[in-house]
Amino acid sequence: MTQQPDAPEAPGSRMRTIALIVATALFMEQLDATVLATALPSMAKSFGVQPLHMSIALTSYLLSLAVFIPASGIMADRFGTKRVFNGAIVLFTLGSILCSQATSLPLLVGARLIQGMGGAMMVPVGRIILLRSVPKSELVSAMAWFLVPALVGPVLGPPLGGFITTYLSWRWIFFINIPIGILGGTLATLLIPDIRETHRTPFDVPGFVLSGIALASLTFSLTLASRGSDAWEAIALLILGLASGVAYVVYARRRSNAILDLRLMRVQTFRVSTIAGSLSRITWGAVPFLLPMMMQLGFGMSAAASGSITFMSAAGAMLMKAFAAPILRRFGFRRVLIWNQLLATLCIAACATFTRGWPLPVLFAVLLAGGFFQSLQFTAYNTIAYAELRPDRMSAATSFYTVFQQLMLSMGICVAAGALALSAAISGHPTATLGDFRVAFIVVSVASLFCGPLCAQLPATAGAEMSGHRARPATASK
């Protein structure tokens, strides 16, 4: 049974207040990621490593998320959402400070792992607060409010990161999180409800260990494979990850309190959203890594110039939020997920055609449209996933869903880095060139093409309670 305090505010006002406060955590995380992506080539020079090797600075954070996210729901149920949420903000901010002091790539990776531990609790617990505090009829609007401040981060991140990297030092990009963390923690302490389960589920220690080994091994094996060296280490980690994953599946089937509850995949809307959303995230997870590097290494732009262009994707995503609810109400989840995915994928594939001679307005238009369609797609995925779940399953579902989300974003970076390295090796280039980036964009776009058939399995009425869409009744045959 879930305990939460009475809410004296009007439902709409309370929904917006909660959504905006928990969005502070997502804002901080997204700002950090986009600022860092713009600074990677400069950081590579500082550490004396190849730019493509800097992908581990992104994947190490995502790895930490994937490993520790499964514990977030149980931690929130046991210790209360407010306490866990605030502690996560503190840990993320501490990790940011350590990142700013890193003197080598291994030290940066270690600090990013600490950041990831905070992020693993911060964003999922924030989403749990939202899901348990808002009725299903308001969930689409709540998700839109939740994502608006979070999308401001990616809008500000590229130009801000480019400016700091070009005119100051990349180390300053991590200090940005300190005032944001203080603000978020203060607002959460004052205004966020403290929700917890009165019935405590025992923590699944063996499941946590097995799933952690599987996720960590698979992620690091993909990272090593993307470098084109360390082949035997990558193979060994891949085998260990697969073996641990199989062992976890066998183990979890006999447990009612498994840390990643595989029974959730029996729910159709959750299953389709998880699998199709994972494929989409392989494509979109590669974009923050590929686009700034292509602008700087392929076009010869400065970090500041690169950031002034790549932010348009996030601007398109933020623009979409005003249209998400009306579009889903008009067309329903099924049709939006099928056709919007195709439009989003075409925009990503179009990045493979970019050249130095393209007019800036055309580049802006492609990135703006891509951000718009991508944001609509993930708003739909993130909402339809919970359409058929009971309130007491929200914590387990959020942990499960977010693990796959982060793992696939990490895989997108690894696939992109691997495609770049392989294309450069085949072409005999010492470093990636513009043509290699084109190959990488095409490779990562292919994964999203399989989403349409998966989403077509949903009934026309899927998520109608959330979207307000009513499918037309079938016409009787004469």
pLDDT by residue (tens digit) across 350-375? 888 888 878 888 888 888 888 888 88
Q: Are 316 and 287 in contact (CB under 8 A)?
A: no
Count of structural domains within the chain:
2
Same domain, 236 and 265: no
Residue 473 lies in a domain: no
Same domain, 318 and 293: yes
Which pTM was predicted?
0.71
Domain C-terminal end among 216, 243, 258: 258
Same domain, 137 and 164: yes
Q: How would you class 176 by CB atoms within 10 Å of its CB: exposed for 0-12, middle for 13-18, buried for 19 or more?
A: buried
Place of tokens 């029974």: 263
3: which strand partners?
A: 196
- Single-letter residue type at 243: A
Task: Give dist(CA 34, CA 17) in Å, integer.
Answer: 25
Q: Are 63 and 187 in contact (CB under 8 A)?
A: no
Q: Left if phi > 0, otherwise alpha if psi is -120 to 50, otherwise beta: which for 332?
A: left
Same domain, 57 and 75: yes
Q: Which pLDDT belongs to residue 477? A: 38
Q: Which secondary structure element, helix H or strand E, spans residue 211, and what is its range?
A: helix 205-227
Residue 198 lies in a domain: no
Q: What is the mean pLDDT of the chain?
A: 78
Residue 478 lies in a domain: no
pLDDT by residue (tens digit) across 220-271? 787 777 666 567 777 888 888 889 889 988 888 877 777 787 888 888 888 8
pLDDT by residue (tens digit) across 431-452? 778 888 888 889 888 888 888 8
pLDDT by residue (tens digit) across 15-45? 666 777 777 777 777 777 777 777 888 888 8
Same domain, 162 and 268: yes
Please state, in angstroms and as integers, the Cα–Cα distance from residue 46 to each residue in 103, 105, 389, following that order. Answer: 8, 9, 48
Task: Give dist(CA 317, CA 285) in Å, integer.
Answer: 15
Domain C-terminal end among 258, 281, 304: 258
196: which strand partners?
A: 3
Tokens standing for residue 280 = 């989409």
pLDDT confidence band for 5 (50 / 70 / 90): very low
Backbone angles phi, psi at 50, to 5 degrees: -70, 140
Residue 54 lies in a domain: yes
Residue 474 lies in a domain: no
Residue 12 lies in a domain: yes
Distance of alpha carbon 442 from the chain centroid: 21
Same domain, 216 and 342: no
How many other C-beta atoms lie within 10 A of the C-beta of residue 355?
A: 10
Tokens standing for residue 273 = 């959203």
Task: Tell me the range of 97-111, 190-204, 460-474 where mean pLDDT is highest.
Answer: 97-111
What is the gyration radius of the CA atoms in the chain, in angstroms? 21
Same domain, 354 and 408: yes
Residue 427 lies in a domain: yes
Place of tokens 């009513």: 470
Same domain, 241 and 363: no
Tokens standing for residue 77 = 């149920």
Q: How would you class 98 by CB atoms within 10 Å of its CB: exposed for 0-12, middle for 13-18, buried for 19 or more?
A: middle
pLDDT by residue (tens digit) across 273-302? 888 888 888 888 788 778 888 888 878 877
Closest CA to 260 of 183, 306, 204, 332: 204
Residue 281 lies in a domain: yes
pLDDT by residue (tens digit) across 379-432? 888 888 877 777 767 767 877 887 777 778 778 888 888 888 888 888 777 777
Same domain, 366 and 392: yes
Reduced to 3 states (helix: H, G, I; strand: E, B; else coil), residue 2 is strand
Same domain, 109 and 74: yes
Domain that holds residue 82: 8-192+259-467
Domain C-terminal end among 221, 238, 258: 258
Tokens standing for residue 328 = 């889903």
Same domain, 211 and 62: no
Q: 394-427 and 205-227 are packed helices; what angle lies between their axes, rounded to 10 degrees? A: 20
Q: How would you class 89 by CB atoms within 10 Å of its CB: exposed for 0-12, middle for 13-18, buried for 19 or more?
A: buried
Q: What CATH number should be reported for the domain holding residue 111?
A: 1.20.1250.20
Query: What's the helix, strand, coil split of the chain in %, to 5?
Result: 80, 0, 20
Quick check: 327 pLDDT over 60? yes
Higher pLDDT, 138 or 368: 368
Same domain, 82 and 162: yes
Reduced to 3 states (helix: H, G, I; strand: E, B; else coil), residue 196 is strand
